[in-house]
Amino acid sequence: MVLLALTAQAAEPRVYHLVANESSVRLHIGKSGMLKTFGHEHEVVAPAFSGQVTLDEADLARSHVSATFESRELRVLPDNEPAKDVPKVQETMLGPQVLDSGRYPDIRFTSTRCEARQTGPGTYEVQLDGQLELHGTVRPVSLPLHVELSQDRLVARGGTTIRQTDYGITPVSAGGGSVKVKNEVPIQFMFVGRTGSR
């Protein structure tokens, strides 16, 4: 009976809670248009989020990921940005023209499908499909991930690109469109999860 209990316990899915202060999420806001050389590109980070990974090692396809980001906490970095422009760019990003964080305070990701291939001890290449809710719109996204696992820690690295117009956001422009923000927004991330962390 003890052996059966231990076997059942070992088969239980493990839950890793995402640790925001050990993770990083970075967005690159590019520029386009005839006079794009006169505009600035922006680097944005998303430091405030929570979520969890439920890992079923017996059947990795049954694993599940969820995460919620606080849109009002997204921050424009001063990289390649005149210091005096940062507050204005920040205000525009969070305002009704872009994220409208007052109306849409949360950005949510929920996985719907997981495929994983083990490439070494504790390392996996993962294809994670899910739904991203942003600006009141839900769209499918696909995330290729490199995942490193230990008993109490998970690290997932990857990236994707989203289109602002897919989420009802019109890219900001100036000068009659001669300088404008690119529709495509590349996102790079590194998530750390720990068992027992909340």
Long-range contacts of 31-35 (CB under 8 A, 24+ apart): 31/179, 31/180, 31/181, 31/182, 32/180, 32/181, 32/182, 33/173, 33/175, 33/177, 33/178, 33/179, 33/180, 34/178, 34/179, 35/175, 35/178, 35/179
Amino acid at 114: C
- Residue 7, pLDDT > 60, answer no
Enter the pTM of the model. 0.85
Domain ranges of the chain: 15-194
- Residue 176, pLDDT > 50, answer no
Architecture of domain 15-194: Beta Barrel (2.40)
- Residue 43, pLDDT > 90, answer yes
Over the stretch 8-36, which tens digit does the pLDDT of each residue have? Answer: 444 688 999 999 999 999 999 988 643 34
% of the chain surpassing 70 pLDDT: 85
Over the stretch 61-118, which tens digit does the pLDDT of each residue have? Answer: 899 999 999 999 999 998 767 778 889 999 999 999 999 999 999 999 999 999 999 9
